[in-house]
Structure 1
Amino acid sequence: MKKRLQLSIYYLQELNYRLAYTAFGTLLVFYTTYHYKQSIIFIILPQGLSHLVSTGLTETFFTYIELCSTLSFSFSLILILTQIYLFLRPGLYIYETKITQSIFIGGIFFYTCLYVFILPWLIKILWELFSEYSKNFTPIHLTFEPRIKDYLDYIKDLNKILSFSFPLLLGLNIIQRYTPKDLWVKYRGTTYIMAFFIAALITPPDILSQIIIGLPLILFYEIQIIFWSTYTAYQKKILIWKPIKSHQNTLGNKK
């Protein structure tokens, strides 16, 4: 009984330490992002934008706070998941550890590609597409002056949409792994409808956001079907061409 109590106290202390690490890391990220807030905004601004408009006295300040809070909260989620994994790691089986590590590596690779390549390219494309309408408005003279808060809210919504894609793709992969592949081919049309239904639930009510989420889900769905079909054929080929020990070799080994 005394040993169990000591172990419980030890685990509680370790959990408190890991929560303290997470809180300290979140505050450190918030302080760092607030110190370089203007540089961060300058990085995410599209090319060709000469100025932004601020219409409220406290609008710029609260926009900075919202930006830094969003970045620090996103980083804190990574810290929390990492600390939970390190806390549970001694009690996991080997296959559970491998699965968790694969998910972590896949998540790091996915979000690195997302924020380094996909998100800047997508911001550029969407900015050029929608800003062109304001420049070519011929009935009257229309001056397009974007607000800093509206622009950062737009970036935040776009980031939220893209961030949800990894858990959805992960869930789709898990479901597809433990279900018959014939059902996925048979009910392909139903899956397309479900992909856009899920996109409509987690995105703002506009068709563009639903397409941004729905099309990658459908593309990943088709890639998974092709992958598992190719992998099944590859396994069958290995089983067919696997060398079989002859009867004489078997007798020789017995001797």
Structure 2
Amino acid sequence: MNRLQISIYYLQELNYRLAYAIFGTILLFSTTYTYKQGLIFIFLPKGLSHFVSTGLTEIFFTYIQLCTIFSFSFGLGIALTQLYLFLRPGLYTFEAKTTFNLLITALIFYICLYAFVFPIIVKILWELFSDYSQNFTAIDLTFEPRLQDYLYHLQQLNKALTLIFPCLIALNIIQIYTSRQTWVKYRSIAYITAFSIAAFITPPDVLSQTLIGLPLIIFYEIQLKFWSLYEEYQKQLLIRQPIKSHENSH
């Protein structure tokens, strides 16, 4: 009976924490929907305020989609924090410390990523592809950007950036139990796995799968390169290590 009461207590606590996460997500959705037009201007390229709409309900569902993605991104962080607070009493000290450091690192990583790196990537991609659209001289072509298409491509870019941190953690965990030679030997399998993951989480088009699969391959190669440099550094330390001289005592 005592074990049953304890189980019910933990289930109630888990329900409360999930309710906090759901309530926080709904609150974030309501807040972002209130300021939906200002939120869109944050993601627009600098100096551009002209988009076209071809559907009666396109603007409405675009607002809903944008606010949903924005609120669920923060809601996931709230849910993970509540899950950590729920599991912390049952963790060892080093486990709780490691999990806490991982959460803080992920928070700082994504804040820096979306505050500094994301706007630069959006600006570079916009200038690259808009130049092709505006300088198309073969026929008389007028470039009229569509808001829903623009936000759709931002969503695909967001998926690619969101996968960065989990992929780095997974690669570091795999690195502990494998060798660099294994990574080199099964490199082709890693490439196939990257595009399989991209095909699973993206629509069936080549551009979306490339935006997801190519960064995964790049992270794999960067991890492999740093691993090689680290092994070379360790070899140089062993070579430069002074040899201790043993003096014979008389």
TM-score, normalising length: structure 1:
0.80
> 1:201, 1:34 → 2: CA distance?
30
Alignment CA distance shift 1:229-1:98 (3 Å):
farther
State the AA in 1 paired with 2:120.
W
Cα deviation 1:153-198 (Å, max 9, x = unaligned): 1211221222123222221221111112332244456545654554
Cα deviation, residue 107, structure 1:
1.6
CA drift at 1:65: 1.2
2:13 aligned partner: 14
Deviation at 1:56, TM superposition (A): 2.4
- Report the Cα distance in structure 2 between the residues aligned to 1:139 and 1:216, rounded to whole angstroms: 33
Shift in alpha-carbon separation, 1:213–1:58, aligned structure 2, 3 A: closer
CA distance in 2 between partners of 1:65 and 1:6 (Å): 42
1:54 aligns with 53
Is 2:175 the counterpart of 1:172?
Answer: no
Q: Which moved more, 1:126-135 or 1:6-15?
A: 6-15
Assess if the C-alpha contact under 8 Å between 1:52 and 1:145 holds in 2: yes
Quick one: distance in 1 between partners of 2:226 and 2:139? 54
Q: Distance in 1 between matches of 2:225 and 2:100?
A: 25
**Equivalent residues of 1:161, 1:202 under 8 A apart:** no
Partner of 2:36: 37
Q: 1:126 corresponds to which residue? A: 125
Matches within 5 A, 1:1-255: 1-2=1-2, 4-188=3-187, 191-192=190-191, 194-196=193-195, 198-199=197-198, 201-203=200-202, 209=208, 212-225=211-224, 227-228=226-227, 237=237
Between structure 1 and structure 2, the one with the greater Rg is 1
Structure 1 alignment gaps of length 5 or more: 247-255
Change beyond 3 A, Cα 1:37–1:231? same
Number of corresponding residues: 245
Encode CA deviations 1:58-103: one digit per residue, 9 max, x unaligned. 2212211111111112222111111111101110122322332232
CA contact (8 A) 2:160 2:212 kept: yes
Greater displacement, 194-203 / 75-84? 194-203
Distance 1:201 1:120, change over 3 A: same
Q: Find the aligned partners of 2:204 and 2:117 in 1 and give their Cα distance.
A: 22
In 1, Cα distance between equivalents of 2:241 and 2:195: 43
User: Would the aligned equivalents of 1:165 and 1:213 in 2 still touch at CA under 8 Å?
Assistant: no
**C-alpha distance in structure 2 between counterparts of 1:9 and 1:46, whole Å:** 52
SS of equivalent to 2:142: coil
Per-residue CA deviations over 1:12-62 (Å, capped at 9, x if unaligned) read 221121122112101110111011111110010002324111222222122
* Amino acid of the structure 1 residue aligned with 2:18: L
SS in 2 for 1:54: coil
- In structure 2, the gaps of 5 or more residues are none
Residue 147 to residue 234, structure 1, CA distance change in 2 (3 Å): closer
Q: Distance in 1 between matches of 2:76 and 2:193?
A: 28
User: 1:144 aligns to what SS in structure 2?
Assistant: coil
Superposed displacement of residue 223, structure 1:
4.4
Q: Is the 8 A contact 1:161 1:209 kept in 2?
A: no
Structure 1 residue 221 displacement after superposition: 3.3
